[in-house]
Structure 1
Amino acid sequence: MVMNCNQYGQALILHNIRKDLTARSVPPPGSCEVMHATYEDYFVEHWTRKNCEAYVLTDCPLIEVHSLPRYAIRTQTAPVGSIIPQGACRWTHFLEGVYRAFLFLPRLCRRATDVYRACEARFQLGLPPIADDLLIESTTLPTTNANWNLETLGDSVLKLITTSSMSNRALLARATEIERFLTSEGQNVHVWQYMVPEGEDVLSHMLNSYHAVQRSFPRRSLQDCMEATLGAAFLTGGIELNIIP
């Protein structure tokens, strides 16, 4: 893995070492650098900033690199290639396959957190054996724009099992219990923000940390989540698995 000292924050993968080229070589026809007399002129023009001069070495070969994606996206196009001076780069022996494996860690962390939250809600609230995926959907606020519509199904189930006056009281009573298991986080599977600070003891952090915050949700959002939980129960076990006492 390579990082250009003139462009921090962009991970690159080494593709080829061009020992036949240096920064003072003339760009070939058809290349993006062809409008400049030498590669050096191109690098200086594109990497010079207001308070920072471009760092370009002329006594080392050029290397061909491909940019690595920040996220694992299926629809991503082929990696963008470029050519830069070898001496202007920092190196680390990090295989591309290992790097790509790390891109899936946020997705795995999100899944583990959601399943744990669903299991705790089911156990502590005495909910019926609703499928994990459905319970995760039902306890995610509609404001996250996750495109889940279990509350519509739950509203129909509610009309079948009880009257409107009773259902509102029952929903509100259960909503106050389920509120602490709800999440208002967007379903971003590309970034995971809960990291142990460098230098801290990981085991101590795991034993003493409590990743929860106090939030106040609108009454309508609580009702939507309760209706969504009814819909999840219906999809799991039919009308007999409703959770209204």
Structure 2
Amino acid sequence: MQSFLIYVVLPPSITTQPSSQSINVTQIARFICRASGYRILYQWRIGSGSFPSKVTGINTNTLVISDVRSSDENTYTCIASNEGGNASSRTVKLTVKGNVDPPTISRHPTNMTVKLENSTTMVSLRCEANGATSYNWERQSGSIPSRATWINTNTLTIINLQIKDAGYYRCVAINNNGQRYSKYCRIIINGRLAKDLLQEGEYLKSYYNILHSPYQYYSTSQHIS
């Protein structure tokens, strides 16, 4: 008579349930699940949508969500499985307190082409962002003209425009949880996009008289266009 040994693999049993969490934005959320059984594999499931790339541990017993944002508010479930079957943990929820993320740019400033007509010529750049509590403006090379106004507003206005004001500008949207930068826009004046007026090796032939003459200069190298 032959004898047989029959091995029965029982499904896992959840021994440590994950807990719901309520944390502030930018913090780290960790959900821990443990199960008893033979050769257990773990997998986490999200209630809706898919896991962002910042989430780690999806196939382990510990799910880690770093730099938590309001978009991470969701439900999460741990699945423990082996050859005998699977077991699901209770479904837990992540609540993000404050529910505030860094701003998101909804309107980038647009390029401007300006012809100097007189000393009162002005230009305005505008930026809009969701969730911003204040704004700043930056120039790619050099400083923003002292004639400009923008303090904590989404509109940069340069009055008494001069040829040297041509260049690249961008907006910075700010709140308590971070900041976001708009795309650079360019201001072209009298058909030129100056890089702080002139590149190295160039120099002014004469001072620019905004009321009476076009801007004149000569260069030892190719001029900026």
Whichever structure has more strand as a proportion of its residues is: 2
TM-score range, shorter chain: under 0.3
Q: Which has the higher contact order (CA 8 A, sep 6+)?
A: 1
